[in-house]
Amino acid sequence: MTTPTLELTRDLIARPSVTPEDAGCLDLIAARLAPLGFSCERIDGGGVSNLWARRGSARPLLVFAGHTDVVPTGPLDAWTSNPFAPTERDGLLFGRGAADMKASLAAFVTSIEAFVAAHPNHAGSIALLLTSDEEGDATHGTTLVVETLRGRGEALDYCIVGEPTSAATLGDTIKNGRRGSLSGRLTVKGVQGHIAYPQLAKNPIHLAAPALAELAAEKWDDGNEYFPPTSWQMSNIKAGTGATNVIPGTLEVLFNFRFATVHSADQLKARVHAILDRHGLDYDLAWTLGGKPFLTPRGSLVAAMEAAIRDTLAISPELSTTGGTSDGRFIADICPQVVEFGPVNATIHKLNECIALDAIEPLSAIYRRALENLLTAPDPA
């Protein structure tokens, strides 16, 4: 038996929106929102499709955020059914984007439809911030919309990102923050030479090894109440010509920090440079900040989401900051309270991605409860 959220989820999955393509998903969603009184604005750029849709002008403003794009399917013959032909089987809905995150997008829409029907004169405002560039470069998507809203002085109060956060069952996990990501490309310089005449060369592998060992053993911090300790990991080391009788002239190391709110990116950079300098290395180091950490402590939004999950599913969710980055890191620059909540993430980015059929309508119900908690009742904090 079909349901409103399931039907819309199927319609979205059927659109092959491999990043950064939108394949008409935003038009479909805007067509559902416009009759509810939403002002729908496209803020496209760089080949990326973005939608900012808002109902009302008062505060507080609750924003649902997400992405229509999906990762590539991988080999089609490895799927048990066409990834863009939504298929129900064994209590599951299969299709690329089923869990990440077209079910969440559908649940956003149907929860808002039900909420507005019951509360046409609700307090505050509701908005959706959607992009087709979350799974790709993420340079012309949510970042562009955030820059536009900041330029206008639009104030966001709460944001729910529909990322698949649940671990074993719908509702068991809310992400109330994410670690930052800071990458480095380290080039240690030596002098190339014949391996039989080491006195005429300078081996950068030997020179760098003690410093790399120190970096790997360094305790960066203890984390805090919400975050695990900062992690530094090497992901690649490259040197040499492939010959066994040549001392290389350079050594290249790729590494990454996943860091908590305990440190800033600049503080971590300074500590790395201090270690490298102490070992007297001749080096170049290029940094890339993939995302700053963000954190929403317990307060109005977390309480509203916890209550919505308890009332709908009779379970108490855990708060977590684990996992990779999300577009929440950009939204947190203009919104003081950002959380992520969505379906089970066990199959995301995999072959035969799927979502439990019996989780789809409860997901919509949870989002509707959150709307009620924040826009019809006294502040739950």
Residues that are catalytic: 69, 134
Q: Within 10 A of 256 (CB to CB), how many other CB atoms are there?
A: 16
Inter-residue contact 169 to 344 (CB < 8 Å): yes
Please give the Cα distance from 108 to 102 (Å, whole number).
10
- Angle formed by the axes of helices 25-33 and 4-13, nearest 10°: 150
161, with CB counted inside 10 A (0-12, 13-18, 19+), is buried
- Count how many residues are written for the chain: 381
Structure tokens at 373: 């908690």
Q: What is the DSSP letter of 317?
A: P
CA nearest to 20, candidates 140, 162, 146, 103 = 140
For residue 352, which of 10, 75, 16 has the smallest C-alpha distance? 75
* Interior/surface letters 41-51, b for 16+ CB within 10 angstroms, e for the rest: eebbbeebbbb
What are residue 366's DSSP bridge partners?
Answer: none
CA dist 63 and 61 (Å) reads: 6
The interaxial angle of helices 25-33 and 103-118, nearest 10 deg, is 10
The closest of 366, 304, 357, 293 to 326, measured between CA atoms, is: 293
300: three-class secondary structure by DSSP: helix
Contact 10, 38 (CB under 8 A): no
Taking the C-alpha atoms of residue 338 and residue 24, their distance in angstroms, rounded to an integer, is: 27
What is the spatial distance between Cα 187 and Cα 285, in angstroms, rounded to a whole number? 6
What distances in angstroms separate CA 149 from CA 1, 43, 99, 262, one per listed residue?
Answer: 41, 10, 28, 28
Longest dimension (CA), the chain: 83
